[in-house]
């Protein structure tokens, strides 16, 4: 990282960590950033701060968020507030910033990426769908074939056969795996689970030297509900955020932010 200030504006000759206690010069600050390996953390903070500062909230909204924040900290009156701020070395502006930061980031993300959430969901759906399945694996093909016939004909219970014959860690759960992402396993397993129906049992197939018996138990398709939309928006924001941090670390200019979504129209 360059030794010039990240914001592009030269700060005062002294850097203050607490409101009234100047601590470090600019040169000393930059030396510590380099030598203590905290440049990345600072770059991330710069980008997040830039986003938070770009979103405006009304006074009522800010005050409500501050009250909720202080309630969570157990601060109940003005006297307790003064003591709490002193302990943390915060100003009232610091309190306002921390209390409202998450909401500002949420609004920015929603305004910028809310319309793209469905596309992201459809692109990621295969990774988001979950399944539960039963698994038994042995190293001998003939044994796998025999166990498959017992299962297919209903002569034995899957969990019982796993306990008696399986050579993998699935014995701990008596063969039951999941709920787990559909794509979390080997591609040969994924391609079967993707098209299978609950209760379907596949003939033995080989994966990495093992002979597998697999039965699909349940399928849990991902749904684009409010929680999933929020997750997709956050994923899109994180992609953009990492790009911005990489630019800053490389000494490049940051991309301009879009207009404040809460600002009144011209």
pLDDT in tens, 41-80: 988 999 999 999 999 999 999 999 999 999 999 999 999 9
Look at 44-53, 178-187, 245-254, 256-265 and tell me which has the smallest mean pLDDT.
256-265
- pLDDT of 35 reads 82
Question: DSSP label at 66?
Answer: H
The CA–CA distances, whole Å, from 151 to 144, 145, 158 equal 11, 10, 7
Domains contained in the chain, CATH given? 56-128+223-259 (no CATH), 130-220 (3.10.50.40)
Q: CA triplet 167, 171, 177: central angle to 5 degrees?
A: 115
pLDDT tens digits for range 182-218:
989 899 999 999 999 999 999 999 999 999 999 999 9
Query: Are the C-beta atoms of 69 and 95 separated by less than 8 Å?
Result: yes
36 phi and psi angles, rounded to 5 deg: -95, 0
The set of residues, in sequence order, having a beta carbon less than 8 Å from that of 182 and lying 6+ positions away, is 126, 127, 129, 130, 131, 190, 193, 194
Q: How many CA atoms lie within 13 A of 108 on its CB side?
A: 24
Find out whether 117 and 47 touch, Cβ atoms under 8 Å. Answer: no
Over the chain, what is the mean pLDDT?
88
- Farthest CA pair distance, the chain: 82
Look up the pTM and report it.
0.74
Average pLDDT over residues 82-92: 93
In the block, tokens 């988001």 appear at 128
Torsion of CA 257, 262, 263, 266, to 10 degrees: 100
């Amino acid at each position: 990282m360059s030794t010039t200030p990240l914001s592009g504006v030269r700060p005062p000759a002294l850097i203050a960590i607490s409101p009234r206690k100047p601590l470090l010069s600019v040169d000393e600050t930059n030396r510590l950033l380099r030598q203590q390996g905290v440049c990345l953390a600072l770059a991330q903070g710069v980008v997040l701060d830039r986003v938070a500062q770009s979103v405006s909230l009304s006074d009522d909204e800010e005050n409500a968020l501050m009250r909720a924040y202080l309630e969570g900290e157990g601060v109940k009156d003005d006297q307790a507030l003064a003591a709490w701020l002193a302990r943390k070395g915060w100003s009232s502006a610091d309190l306002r910033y921390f209390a409202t930061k998450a909401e500002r980031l949420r609004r920015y993300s929603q305004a910028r990426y809310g319309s793209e959430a469905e596309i992201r969901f459809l692109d990621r759906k295969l990774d988001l769908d979950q399944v539960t399945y039963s698994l038994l694996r042995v190293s001998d093909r003939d044994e796998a074939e025999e166990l498959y016939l017992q299962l297919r004909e209903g002569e034995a219970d899957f969990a019982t056969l796993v306990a008696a014959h399986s050579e993998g860690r699935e014995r701990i759960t008596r063969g039951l795996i999941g709920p787990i992402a559909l794509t979390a396993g080997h591609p040969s397993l994924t391609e079967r689970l993707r098209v299978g129906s609950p209760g379907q049992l596949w003939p033995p197939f080989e994966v990495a030297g093992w002979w597998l018996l697999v039965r699909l138990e349940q399928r849990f398709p991902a749904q684009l509900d409010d929680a999933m939309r929020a997750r997709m928006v956050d994923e899109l924001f994180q992609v953009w955020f990492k790009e911005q941090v990489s630019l800053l670390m490389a000494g490049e200019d940051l991309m301009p932010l879009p207009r404040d979504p809460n600002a009144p129209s011209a």
